[in-house]
Amino acid sequence: GLLLGKMGERGAPLVNVCQCLNEAVMKIVSMAVWYFPFGIVFLIAGKILEMEDPSVIGQKLGLYAITVVSGLVIHGLVLLPLLFVLITKKNPFAFIQGILQALLIALATSSSSATLPITLKCLLENNGIDRRVARFVLPVGATINMDGTALYEAVAAIFIAQVNEYDLDLGQIITISITATAASIGAAGIPQSGLVTMVIVLTSVGLPTDDITLIIAVDWALDRFRTMTNVLGDALAAGIIAHICEKDF
């Protein structure tokens, strides 16, 4: 892209080809999105028909969802604020109040990338974070700081193991934790991207990847909460970096 830009008019034909391909792919994706719900319904229905007692898996899914949300709440409202106050000696909840708009957008869009401009605006206008810090930390965080996604994938892998009556030892749980953290770094900041990287986590401990269809039914809701956690983590990280670099500015 940089080289084509430097080539000027000579690179224009190839740039046009890339733009046309991009538009074509986006149209294909937009058409496919309309059919995704039907595919998901049949995937879930097929899995339910294989079960002897579907009500049992329904109860397990409910407990799974509660576990994920509880973990995200503890991480987002206890652990992250505690880390913030230990380093900055400032009130973390006053800081969080300044980014409430960004958190609501994250809840609505399920995309940390789509929330990025609002998060930047909140940090600059409400929390007084230096523009240089915010513009550096937030884009990097939206790409690799997916703590909510990592937590979700680890819990999901353990849930799938329990559904299949597969006993995990300590080594496998540690493997899941490390793999979930690494896989979350590669997850895109778009809705339900964690389902894609879940394959890596499940494969690392030999769990069946087909059972990802079990959690699709509740993932649309859980995705919103983990996106909020991701955005909150990015914002608090920017606040911590701004405090550490305060003397340099």
24-34 residue pLDDT tens: 876 776 676 56
The ranges of the chain with pLDDT < 70 are 1-2, 4-5, 7, 11, 26, 29-30, 32-55, 186-195, 249
Question: Which residue range(s) make up the domain with 121?
Answer: 53-248
Both 232 and 121 in one domain: the answer is yes
Sequence-distant (6+) residues with CB within 8 A of 176 are 154, 157, 158, 168, 201, 204, 205
Domain count, the chain: 2
Both 207 and 123 in one domain: the answer is yes
Both 10 and 64 in one domain: the answer is no
> pTM (2 decimals)?
0.77
Helices 147-163 and 170-185: crossing angle, nearest 10°?
Answer: 140
Both 27 and 58 in one domain: the answer is no
Q: Which two tokens stand for residue 36?
A: 């995704």
In which region does residue 53 sit, left (phi positive, over 0), alpha (psi from -120 to 50) or beta (all else)? beta
Structure-token match 């930390």, residue found: 137
User: Of 236, 248, 242, which Cα lies nearest the Cα of 82?
Assistant: 236
Both 35 and 132 in one domain: the answer is no
| pLDDT, position 13 | 78
Both 114 and 199 in one domain: the answer is yes
Each residue's pLDDT tens digit, 7-16: 677 767 777 8
